[in-house]
Amino acid sequence: MPSRAQLFENNKAWAARMTAEDPTFFQRLTRQQNPQYLWIGCSDSRVPANEIVDLLPGELFVHRNVGNVVVHTDLNCLSVLQYAVEVLDVSRIIVCGHYGCGGVTAAFRDKPLGLIDAWLRHIQDVRTKHRSQLDALPDDAARIHRLCELNVIEQARNVCNTSTVRHAWQQGHSVAVMGWIYSLEDGILRDLGFSAAKSEEVDAAYEAAIVPKREGG
């Protein structure tokens, strides 16, 4: 494990590198941030939002929690969403899950882990909702894999159903909501086919993405 001193050393070296590449980089950022994207992802340390899409500080507004869950009573997530859409004026919201998600796996296996069980209950609701699709898969590995995808799609739809996004669409603001998933195995992002930029598109986007995939597909 790197020591605390090492982290400060790393930070100094990183700041020096950034300044060498662009001498006005930090000065510009102190004046304003102007992200075009809101990223809602998992807290997993292997899925760092900016690095995956190779964006600099200032380009991505980020909210992360265990299992990239969007709950209509979560003031934290809803506040990030509202601020991103209404104040920062982001035009794209990405819900990004990842295969091999510990939160999804624990939810699937109903493994007790403590306080977090209540949070993971939301993912268990996704599992229950799609039980027949999951049961049709050959084994638990395939079911967990698909549950990681289904969870993204459900949470992306939840984003669409927030008062913030509904209001933005009513007002004619351009906000697109997308569902993506990241693979720890090859570092590649995949589009799950959920994309909605107005209320009328949500149901069709959801239905297209949620349909059971062919085996191996």
Contact between 44 and Co ion by CB under 5 A: the answer reads yes
From the list 22, 28, 46, 121, the catalytic residue is: 46
Which residue carries 């990405």 as its tokens?
A: 94
Token pair of 8 as six digits: 């400060």
Q: Which is nearer to Co ion, 101 or 153 (CB)?
A: 101
The answer to whether 94 contacts Co ion (rule: CB under 5 A) is no
Report the phi/psi class of residue 155: left, alpha or beta, with left for phi > 0 and alpha for psi in -120 to 50: alpha
> How many residues touch Co ion (CB under 5 A)?
4
Verify binding: residue 144, Co ion, rule CB under 5 A. Answer: no
State residue 46 phi and psi, 5-degree precision.
-90, 0
Q: Cβ 145 to Co ion, closest distance in Å?
A: 13
Catalytic: which of 63, 77, 96, 101?
Answer: 101
Tell me the angle at which helices 140-160 and 163-170 cross, rounded to the nearest 10 degrees. 50
* 169 vs 180 by CB, closer to Co ion: 180
Does 42 engage in binding with Co ion (CB under 5 A)? yes
Would residue 215 be called left, alpha or beta, if left means φ above 0 and alpha means ψ between -120 and 50 degrees?
beta
Which residues are catalytic, by number?
42, 44, 46, 98, 101
- Which residues contribute to the site for Co ion (CB under 5 A)? 42, 44, 101, 103
